[in-house]
């Protein structure tokens, strides 16, 4: 007979962001071959499975005994120790051995033994004890345990809590003691206002939120899914007068501080919000009212910060940056500002870009950014605008942390692009200069993100700075690595195309992009890969011959395939379309089919090598075709 | 409608009815109710204790000259310590409201203390902090006491439905501003503009020296139960407050910061150690009840 299994670890509220990781571990729990199904709410981690055996099967165990040469005494001693008669021993090679029958065990016993370890063995970012110092450690106190195998309770005890068949409902709406069976477990929870499945809670939040006009945001939906057991969305309002504050500030308050969704109408932000409660409804409007009051107080704070901050303009805050540390070894933000201003100038930034560079970090001294750190840059831009700085200056400040991720867009204005570039480049140069170089997963200063941002800006803004004018040495290599990553992962070019293009050198990233597009465009044409294969062959021939270089002597060319190929390739422009180069394929094939490069006459041989080398060089300014993986050498990939 | 003092009295009653001692505030400046000896020292060791008290908490850097509707240099906290933690410390009966528990761990680097916990959100308002203490003065706690901290101004302003804490009623007919505004204005001026930085540094050194001397004397003192460990702890609190003042004055650079925090933590850790030793010495002597 096969049995079903249920484990519910009842806890005090677990931090939402840790739950999925814990479930992934619990899903691997050893359940005698059955597959674990996991679910969770903030107050319970649940593992269910079907088809566990009632007992494990009987088995045989072979125990190796003494060598036969050790004599009967030793054999008897061994048998006795194993609790068997010497007559039960059998010979295996030069040794005695004993076949022991091991009876299977009841699944209930096995699980009773294994569950505490499986539960307490879950790895958490930080654990606690709650009984006393010698007590169990878990993410939060364990308050109840349901452990059932079929209709039997699996006896388990953790920190004084004994397992049973009694669960608890929603903290406020549900009963605090609910006997369950495996079959009715989920429905009993539902009756007691606990929606066990995360996807159901998520769907409820999204559906109700959308119906109320919420501007849904994936991260926030996920957070709310795991801090509620019975999520219900409600809409609240705020005084439209607060819309005079920048939308960025209002949304940050709503989303990050209050976990509300903002609401937008045709014009922009609407004076409403959507909150997700952990309860079934708000018939008297008490929750709505309470949340509205809290939000009002928060908005009041923001308005207060805004007003206080205006008393001292950004321009008057530059010297205050001397008191804000950028990085211990790299000095203050004042020093960083000086460097960035100089760098913007060096990069050819105009007066507006330089002004923006001077002011861009000043918002770090404002009350608003101290309160809403995510809004650094954004607040600076808004203040600059309010304080009458030119549009180009305020925009550049506003945008200069962009792109925040690979999906984020780059600054829109040229001033913003140059400032963003200079700011990131200064951080990278500084950190690399004092040995703060990311290794493995360690990247505390988010230098990869900064480097990625630089690459994205250089390419997408079409800025014509040469990569080696921006960085040298290790930093150059670091950026190059990000260039590869960008073109492969973000732009979707094949890795061999990226390698081929980068192999022949990097000037500007715009040039890299052009060449890559060029290669990718001809890649699917029928002549390209065979030609690439020929180029690879040429490469190998030159390498084997240790060819060091020489000029082509036209008079030594043989009429026919050799001369035809020569005439054809010399007619083509060096950086012309690769489609035309691909057209050389029949001639190249004919050359290799009919002409022997290793001619007996060393002069002819040298001349042929010179010609191949000349042709290779001529068309290798776009990409090194020998890096292209052709169907002939798939194994290399 | 409940005035500020009604709310305070109700909460005190609530906890008194549940068997906690109602203490009065401690009379040395503290940044949080946790720093009072009633919490910091009592959570150490195996002896059960339940206490609740209102503690004025001074945070010089939070002063806003009385101009910010919610932020105060000095606010009142109701601090509750339950040691050991009851089986289910959180008991709330609010059927018509929305309660959420959001992760919020607590850490005090100057006290060498940390705990695991939540902020409890009632209809979007943080009504209390709930923490299971794990370590205090660098010592792993025998029991993991539960701490509840209520920011009384915030709760009361919310209950009264006023936009600014200064507008709420402290007592019938008496506004919070009448009781406290002068305090906020004058201490903001002092903390941010006038406190004499050189003298504060000297004072910090003096209190530190006093504390160190006391900590060093315990070992050789014959009658352990008479030894003034509690006085040593007062010096720690003085140092901690001076640190906060210097910080508000902008006198502590980022690089110095770590060093000064460590100076204060060393005193806190040293005091906790001796206090714990004194407790177990007393137990073995049977000297004090």
Model confidence pLDDT, tens digit, residues A54-86: 999 898 888 888 898 888 888 888 888 888 888
Query: pTM for this structure?
Result: 0.77
pLDDT tens digits, B152-194: 998 888 788 887 899 999 999 999 999 999 999 999 999 988 9
- What is the percent of chain A with per-residue pLDDT over 70, rounded to a whole number? 99
Does position A615 have pLDDT exceeding 60, yes or no? Answer: yes
Question: So what's the pLDDT on residue B286?
Answer: 52
Please report where in the chains the tokens 């021993």 appear, as a residue.
A89
What the block records as the tokens of A202 is 């998520």
Query: Domain B4-191 - what CATH class?
Result: alpha beta
Closest CA to B149 of B24, B271, B51: B51
Give B119's contacts (C-beta < 8 A, 6+ positions apart): B101, B102, B104, B126, B128, B129, B130
**Alpha-carbon distance B232 to B270, whole Å?**
9
Burial tier of A173 (Cβ tally within 10 Å: 0-12, 13-18, 19+): middle
Interface mutation vs chain A, best among B98, B115, B250, most A CBs within 10 Å: B98
3 state SS of B122: strand
Binary contact (B123, A140; C-beta < 8 A): no
CB B225 within 8 A of CB B281: yes
Closest CA to A297 of B105, B126, B7: B126
Give A542's contacts (C-beta < 8 A, 6+ positions apart): A609, A612, A613, A616
Interface A-B: count of C-beta contacts within 8 A: 115
Does position B289 have pLDDT exceeding 50, yes or no? Answer: no
Backbone φ and ψ of B168, nearest 5°: -75, 160
- Please indicate if any CB of chain B lies within 8 Å of the CB of A295: yes
Binary contact (B144, A130; C-beta < 8 A): yes
**Alpha-carbon distance B114 to B140, whole Å?**
10
- The pLDDT-based confidence of B262 (bands split at 50, 70, 90) is very high
Binary contact (B93, A172; C-beta < 8 A): yes
Looking at residues A270-289, what average pLDDT do you find? 94
Burial tier of A387 (Cβ tally within 10 Å: 0-12, 13-18, 19+): middle
pLDDT tens digits, A402-450: 999 888 899 999 999 999 999 999 999 999 998 888 887 778 788 999 9
CB A379 within 8 A of CB A362: no
Closest CA to A264 of A209, A218, A317, A315: A209
Closest CA to B121 of B90, B147, B145: B90
- Please indicate if any CB of chain B lies within 8 Å of the CB of A244: no
Interface mutation vs chain B, best among A10, A11, A12, A328, most B CBs within 10 Å: A12
Question: So what's the pLDDT on residue B288?
Answer: 45
Looking at residues A156-161, what average pLDDT do you find? 95
Please report where in the chains the tokens 């962001």 appear, as a residue.
A17
Question: What residues of chain B lie within 8 A of the CB of A328, using their CB?
Answer: 254-255
**Cα dist. A142→A13, A230, B193 in Å?**
10, 21, 50
- What is the percent of chain B with per-residue pLDDT over 70, rounded to a whole number? 94
- Please indicate if any CB of chain B lies within 8 Å of the CB of A128: yes
Residue B181 or residue A290, greater confidence: B181
CB B240 within 8 A of CB B110: yes
Domain boundaries, chain B: 4-191, 196-285
Q: What is the helix (H) or strand (E) element at residue A301, kind and residue range?
A: helix A286-310
Question: So what's the pLDDT on residue A354?
Answer: 97
What the block records as the tokens of A41 is 């709410």
Does position A633 have pLDDT exceeding 60, yes or no? Answer: no
Binary contact (B122, A132; C-beta < 8 A): no
b/e map of A321-346 (b: 16 or more CB within 10 Å)? beebbbeeebebbbebbbbbbebbbe
Interface mutation vs chain A, best among B124, B146, B165, most A CBs within 10 Å: B124
Q: In the beta sheet, which residues pair with residue B21?
A: B51
- Please indicate if any CB of chain A lies within 8 Å of the CB of B148: no
b/e map of B80-100 (b: 16 or more CB within 10 Å)? bbbbbbeeebbeeeeeebbbb
Does position A131 have pLDDT exceeding 90, yes or no? Answer: no
Complex-level ipTM beyond the 0.95 threshold: no
DSSP state of A155: -
Query: What part of A 309-328 touches B (C-beta under 8 Å)?
Result: 323, 325, 328
Question: So what's the pLDDT on residue A632?
Answer: 61
Question: What residues of chain A lie within 8 A of the CB of B63, using their CB?
Answer: none
Does position B285 have pLDDT exceeding 80, yes or no? Answer: no
Taking CA–CA distances from A42, the nearest residue in chain B reads: B101
| Least confident range of A294-308, B10-24, B201-215 | A294-308
Question: What residues of chain B lie within 8 A of the CB of A141, using their CB?
Answer: 85, 132
Minimum distance, in Å, between the CA of residue A254 and any CA atom of chain B: 11
Does position A574 have pLDDT exceeding 80, yes or no? Answer: no
Question: So what's the pLDDT on residue B93?
Answer: 54
**Alpha-carbon distance B259 to B244, whole Å?**
14
Cis peptide before A403 (omega within 30 of 0): yes
What the block records as the tokens of B261 is 């925090």
- Please indicate if any CB of chain B lies within 8 Å of the CB of A76: no
Give A200's contacts (C-beta < 8 A, 6+ positions apart): none
- The pLDDT-based confidence of B102 (bands split at 50, 70, 90) is very high
Give A400's contacts (C-beta < 8 A, 6+ positions apart): A356, A360, A377, A411, A416, A419, A420, A423
Query: What part of A 22-61 touches B (C-beta under 8 Å)?
Result: 42
- The pLDDT-based confidence of A637 (bands split at 50, 70, 90) is very low
**Alpha-carbon distance B158 to A179, whole Å?**
39
Binary contact (B144, A323; C-beta < 8 A): no
Does position A227 have pLDDT exceeding 90, yes or no? Answer: yes
Q: What is the helix (H) or strand (E) element at residue B277, kind and residue range?
A: helix B254-285
Binary contact (B88, A293; C-beta < 8 A): no
User: How confident is the prediction for chain A on average, in pLDDT?
Assistant: 91
∠ Cα A70 A76 A79 (to 5°):
115
Task: Decide yes or no: CATH 3.60.21 for domain A2-55+107-191.
Answer: no
Please report where in the chains the tokens 């289910």 appear, as a residue.
B88
Query: Domain A314-517 - what CATH class?
Result: mainly alpha
3-state helix, strand, coil in chain A (%, to 5): 50, 15, 30
What the block records as the tokens of A306 is 């805004």
**Alpha-carbon distance B247 to B234, whole Å?**
20
3 state SS of A235: strand
Task: Categorise residue B19: left if φ over 0, alpha if ψ from -120 to 50, beta otherwise.
Answer: left
- Please indicate if any CB of chain A lies within 8 Å of the CB of B99: yes
| Least confident range of A314-323, A597-606, B49-58 | A597-606
Binary contact (A13, B101; C-beta < 8 A): yes
- Please indicate if any CB of chain B lies within 8 Å of the CB of A173: yes
Minimum distance, in Å, between the CA of residue B90 and any CA atom of chain A: 9
Cα A447 to chain centroid, rounded: 15
Query: Domain B196-285 - what CATH class?
Result: mainly alpha
Question: So what's the pLDDT on residue A182?
Answer: 97
3 state SS of A163: strand
């Amino acid at each position: 007979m096969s049995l079903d299994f249920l484990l519910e670890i009842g806890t005090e509220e677990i931090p939402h962001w840790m739950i999925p990781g814990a479930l992934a571990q619990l899903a691997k729990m050893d359940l005698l071959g059955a597959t674990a199904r996991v679910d969770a709410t903030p107050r319970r981690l649940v593992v269910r499975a079907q088809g566990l055996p009632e007992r494990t099967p009987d088995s045989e165990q072979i125990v190796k005994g003494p060598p036969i040469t050790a004599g009967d005494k030793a054999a008897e001693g061994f048998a006795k120790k194993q609790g068997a008669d010497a007559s039960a021993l059998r010979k295996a090679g030069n040794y005695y051995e004993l076949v022991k029958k091991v009876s299977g065990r009841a699944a209930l016993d096995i699980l009773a033994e294994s569950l505490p370890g499986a539960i307490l063995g879950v790895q958490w970012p930080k654990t606690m004890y709650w009984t006393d110092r010698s007590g169990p450690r878990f993410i939060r106190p364990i308050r109840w345990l349901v452990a059932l195998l079929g209709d039997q309770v699996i006896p388990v005890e953790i920190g004084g809590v004994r397992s049973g068949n009694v669960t608890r409902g929603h903290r406020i709406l549900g009963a605090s003691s609910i006997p369950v069976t495996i079959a009715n477990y989920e429905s009993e929870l539902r009756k007691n206002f606990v929606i066990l499945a995360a996807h159901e809670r998520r769907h409820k939040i999204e559906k109700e939120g959308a119906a109320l006009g919420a501007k849904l945001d994936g991260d926030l939906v996920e957070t709310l899914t795991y801090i509620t057991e019975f999520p219900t969305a409600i809409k609240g309002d705020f005084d439209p007068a607060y819309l005079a504050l920048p939308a960025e500030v209002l949304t940050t308050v709503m989303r990050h501080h209050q976990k509300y969704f903002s609401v937008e109408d045709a014009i922009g932000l609407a004076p409403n919000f959507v909150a997700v409660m952990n309860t079934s409804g708000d018939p008297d409007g008490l929750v709505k009212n309470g949340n509205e009051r809290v939000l009002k107080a928060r908005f009041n704070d923001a308005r207060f910060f805004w007003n206080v901050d205006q008393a001292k303009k950004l321009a008057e805050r530059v010297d205050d940056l001397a008191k804000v540390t950028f990085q211990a070894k790299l000095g203050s933000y004042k020093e960083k500002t000086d460097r960035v201003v100089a760098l913007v100038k060096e990069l050819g930034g105009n007066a507006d870009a330089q002004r923006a560079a001077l002011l861009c970090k000043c918002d770090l001294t404002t009350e608003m950014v101290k309160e809403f750190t995510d809004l650094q840059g954004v607040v600076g831009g808004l203040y600059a605008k309010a304080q009458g700085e030119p549009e180009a200056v305020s925009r550049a400040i506003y945008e200069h942390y962009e792109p925040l991720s690979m999906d984020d867009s780059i600054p829109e204005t040229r001033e913003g692009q140059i400032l963003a570039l200079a700011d990131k480049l200064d951080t990278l140069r500084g950190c690399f200069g004092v040995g703060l170089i990311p290794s493995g997963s360690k990247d505390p200063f988010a230098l990869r993100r900064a480097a990625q941002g630089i690459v994205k800006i250089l390419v997408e803004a079409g800025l014509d700075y040469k990569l080696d004018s921006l960085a040298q040495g290790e930093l150059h290599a670091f950026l190059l690595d990000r260039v590869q990553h960008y073109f492969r992962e973000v732009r979707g070019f094949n890795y061999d195309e990226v390698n081929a293009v980068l192999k022949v050198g990097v000037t500007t990233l715009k040039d890299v992009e052009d060449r890559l597009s060029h290669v990718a465009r001809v890649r699917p044409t029928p002549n390209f890969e065979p030609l690439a294969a020929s180029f690879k062959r040429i490469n190998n021939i030159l390498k084997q011959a240790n060819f060091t270089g020489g000029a082509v002597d036209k008079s030594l060319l043989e009429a026919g395939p050799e001369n035809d190929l020569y005439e054809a390739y010399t007619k083509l422009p060096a950086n012309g379309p690769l489609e035309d180069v691909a057209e050389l394929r029949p001639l190249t094939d004919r050359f290799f089919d009919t002409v022997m490069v290793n001619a007996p006459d060393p002069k002819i041989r040298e001349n042929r090598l010179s010609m191949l080398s000349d042709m290779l060089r001529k068309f290798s300014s776009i990409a090194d075709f020998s890096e292209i993986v052709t169907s002939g050498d798939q194994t290399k990939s | 409608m409940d005035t500020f003092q009604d709310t305070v009295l109700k909460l005190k009653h609530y906890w008194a009815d549940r068997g906690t001692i109602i203490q009065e505030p401690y009379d040395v400046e503290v940044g949080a109710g946790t720093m009072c000896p009633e919490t910091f020292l009592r959570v150490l060791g195996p002896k059960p204790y339940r206490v609740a008290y209102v503690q004025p908490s001074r945070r010089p850097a939070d002063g806003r000259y009385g101009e910010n509707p919610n932020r105060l240099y000095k606010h009142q906290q109701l601090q509750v310590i339950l040691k050991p933690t009851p089986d289910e410390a959180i008991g709330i009966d609010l059927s018509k409201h929305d309660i959420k528990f959001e992760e919020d761990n607590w850490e005090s680097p100057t006290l060498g203390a940390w705990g695991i916990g939540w902020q409890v959100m009632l209809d979007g308002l943080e009504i209390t902090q709930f923490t299971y203490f794990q370590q205090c003065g660098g010592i792993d706690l025998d029991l993991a006491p539960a701490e509840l901290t209520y920011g009384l101004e915030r709760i009361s302003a919310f209950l009264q439905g006023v936009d600014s804490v200064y507008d709420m009623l402290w007592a019938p007919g008496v506004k919070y501003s009448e009781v406290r505004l002068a305090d906020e204005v004058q201490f903001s001026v002092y903390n941010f503009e006038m406190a004499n930085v050189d003298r504060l540094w000297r004072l910090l050194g003096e209190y530190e020296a006093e504390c160190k001397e006391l900590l060093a004397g315990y070992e050789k003192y014959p009658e352990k139960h008479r030894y003034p460990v509690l006085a040593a702890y007062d010096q720690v609190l003085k140092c901690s407050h001076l640190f906060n003042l210097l910080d508000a004055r902008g006198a502590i650079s980022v690089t110095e910061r770590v060093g000064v925090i460590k100076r204060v933590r060393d005193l806190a850790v040293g005091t906790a150690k001796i206090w714990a030793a004194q407790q177990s010495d007393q137990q073995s002597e049977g000297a004090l009840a």
